[in-house]
Structure 1
């Protein structure tokens, strides 16, 4: 093609329903999702986490470099080596989910990430609407309330604080910083409890 760009796209499947939100982050209200939708999401994430792949969604070198810089406001050392990795979608946010039947879109970034990464990402994109964030925490508590899930939250918060510097989802920054403090203090308390 002279002087222009050519693009190729492949259609794997038709998505049903509509995206839950037109934007990655929720900005107005908790979406009206059914118990079945949430159950299907938990099942999908659980199944995905067991898939073996050589693809990478999150790199350890990035964590080593970025986490201490973007979480310095916590006032202590930030762990940079997660205990467990699994396969993740890698971009699980509200504009990549459909309803009323669950559909998960935009798979080009899938690969290995810290355990709980997808749940942590969906939660982080919900913090601007506290009832929605609470719902995500309730529905995905099995992973988010674990040591790995808390680490994944710090990873995701690091990524979103960095992207906010480029102007993305700036409105989430205060809530993300608050959530990072909550997670960090919980990790410290859990560590102190194990040391006794």
Structure 2
């Protein structure tokens, strides 16, 4: 989740679109006319807005997505619907019930009505804050199994492209002081945006399936670990719980992929506070890869 957009016009337009969506889908907002504190979930730069609602399936969550009309295609536009059809229910997530699209003033909108998740997001932001979450052992076990089931899904969707790895990894990992491999040991299917604001607890749920698809194996675990680096106890717990992934050749490569991505996004001002920890972790992973011989491949 992100904060409310800085542009008041975007805020007003998205809230208006959400009201329109409620009418289309026959649901009533539970958040009040302006969302209410803690009752709105904004996407990056106001591209999406979600609010709790009540409708024909009981308590729900209505998410509205905006795009320019000529760009309302492709994987980000169809991701949740594709996930509903292709990702098995062993990967816990709110069920997508209804979808409605419309256009207005050069913008395309999509309304997605989900079952309401049990519990709440582990963190209000992708980076874990404000405290170490008291997640039960069952949550971690369910996460491990969810990643196993998801990795086996067959899809032609792509979350991370080889061309990006070839371009970004040498640039953003130059501080490691040696040639960095850019071809992953293997590929598998990933959520693609597995951070703490997209995870529900204390009963596991995985939200926001826009960008899922193939990625270097271990990508989801590596991304979640990177977003945990500001909370040492949780990062250590995650390394323990997902050690089968993160301690593997695939997991170490995936951590370098994620480091490249987050260092690039930090140049745009995103999560700058993670940069020192990302660099330290990348050096640790790099040394282990070299000791294992992977860095020379």
Match of 2:206 in 1: 104
Larger helix fraction of residues: 1
Match of 1:87 in 2: 189
Change (3 A) 1:51 1:175: same
Matched, 1:138 2:237: no
TM-score by length of 2: 0.63
TM-score by length of 1: 0.94
Larger strand fraction of residues: 2
8 Å contact kept, 1:86–1:112: yes
Deviation for aligned residue 1:6:
4.6
Match of 2:120 in 1: 18
CA distance in 2, matches of 1:15, 1:22: 15
Match of 1:173 in 2: 275
* 1:112 aligned counterpart, secondary structure: strand
Matches within 5 A, 1:144-183: 144-183=246-285
Matches within 5 A, 1:18-37: 18-37=120-139
Match of 2:230 in 1: 128
8 Å contact kept, 1:23–1:95: yes
8 Å contact kept, 1:28–1:129: no
CA distance in 1, matches of 2:188, 2:257: 14
Matched, 1:185 2:290: no
Let me know the Cα RMSD of the aligned residues. Answer: 1.6
Structure 1: 5+ residue stretches without partners: none
8 Å contact kept, 1:90–1:110: yes
Listed one character per residue, the Cα deviations across residues 83-112 of structure 1 (whole Å, up to 9, x for unaligned) are: 100000000000000011000000010000
Deviation for aligned residue 1:15:
1.6
